[in-house]
Structure 1
Amino acid sequence: MPPQTKTRTSVGFKAGVKHYKLTYYTSEYQPQDTDILAAFRVTPQPGVPLDRYKGRCSHIGVVPREDNQYICYVAYRLDLFEEGSVTNMFTSIVGNVFRFKALRALRPPHSIQVERDKLNKYDRPLLGCTIKPKLGLSAKNYVYECLPSGLDFTKYDENMNSQPFMHWRDPQAETGEIKGYYLNATPVIDRQKNHGMHFRVLAKALRPSGGDHIHAGTLVGKLEGERDITLGFVDLLRDDYTEIDANRSIYFTQSWVSTPGVLPVASGGIHVWDMPDLTEIFGDDSVLQFGGGTLEHP
């Protein structure tokens, strides 16, 4: 039998999962100049020790001004990504780095059973009605005739909010019928503050991917933002070299070599009286965009 086709039965393939130290984690690893470095914010689940995350990263640091949050640093070899593709890099780093988990905040607050228990209605579909005409049906007509007749929910139409003739808490108490209603609430009830990826990541990615302008916040307008963090955005966009500064949310030293800078754009509720602050914050290499501040100015 030729040597290249001979099978050694004493040394066969052993199935199973290799220890993580043999694959992707090396405790003594020192990042190389050619590595792509990423910083991930980690919020441990209650009762889960932080040490559990150390098998997936090389270093963990505290997030300034944030309780119970940490920064986890991961180094990626450059050849893991398609050359010249920011999209491919984001697919791996943003979309497929840790295993997917359900967010604790995003879940129905009740359940079908609880909803039925609240209404005391069982063994049939729940019935609803959008109030018509929009402003022509009185509370007396609706609450005393429609709701006691079997309707379970009402939907406010777009023109209806909480006008005096639309109140029906007293009739509900009088009839003893518990009803539900769908509010005419077009904006979100609360904001999702943790989007999974910070704006600084997008701002930093825009520079090598070919952008010349980006809205970087205003501080003095109607858009909220912390001064140090916003100035950190501006430095990442314009400076040739940035140093690590966790208080400004800059987690890596970055040399941009010959990469041109990006103009930060300030817009949103700014006017002529904000000019001293805007020029002090953003300097000359910026775009100050006045909408109403231009058209309303005499």
Structure 2
Amino acid sequence: MINHNSKIFLAGHNGLVGSAILRLLKKKGYRKVITIDKSKLDLTNQKKVFNFLKKNKPKFIFIAAAKVGGIQLNSQFKADMLYENLSIQTNLIYSAFKLGIKDLIFLGSSCVYPRDCKQPIKEEYLLTGNLEKTNDAYAIAKIAGIKMCESFNLQYNTNYKCIMPTNTFGPNDKYHSLNSHFFPALIKKIHKLKKMDNKTLTLWGNGKPKREMIYVDDLAEACVFFMNKKIKETIINIGTGKDYSIENYVKIIANVIVPKMRFNIKYDKSKPNGTPRKVLNINLAKKYGWYAKSDLKKSILLTYKDYLKKNQVYKD
């Protein structure tokens, strides 16, 4: 159990999930949260990571640091996705083990599950089929992290837990039109329609794939909740249990940020759809008493307000 004087290292505190965990830890009164910018600590350098943890002596570690992106980034930079993510997570997990740090949360992703998985997806479906080709390199890196945590738990009785979130959105996301995930990209595209005479939104694929979304503050709650929970399982799915098609999300987002605006949707079928459907079975998380609490429309509005603050940065 974390107490308010426990030393906690949060890797990736500037990212979407890491910044939400940091906000929550501060809100809950944890006074000794250790963070460091990537410009000052290269997490791909094993020696530097080990020495940093040895010097700072945290008792708990949240690994929210990762190289992430949407379909295009995952497809074009597979080598970078593999190398950077494998390096970051391996250095942190192995250094934690060597230094006797037994409590750690590793952030995975729902993309670790097979492309054509039975729905809703249970934790036990891991490695039962082929991965989605557009993000297989990222998924393989995350699977390696899961198996590393699982193996140290089995061999050395550590308490390393792997949180498998569904698609996550919220404040501090990346709104790059090509490199971001689909949800922030949609927010940006729909916002830009306001100033266009030709109000046509272009979607990759046919708009039919179904996705489950979770607000980042709910995910942060799950990370802190399960760090404080004694459980026998290594992997825990985190989601809402609800999914909608991409074209339905377009309508939901538009109704929140530009209500009553009429526009057309154009489908670029030369671009990939990605996994046809992805919704997680969250019965295990519920069994331990965790469930998502945020309202989708309110969460979209909060995310949109964050986008407006960052609008001058994302002009592409």
Q: Normalising to structure 2: TM-score of the pair?
A: 0.24
Larger relative CO (CA 8 A, sep 6+): 1 or 2? Answer: 2
Greater per-residue helix proportion: 2
TM-score (norm 1): 0.25
User: Larger Rg: 1 or 2?
Assistant: 1
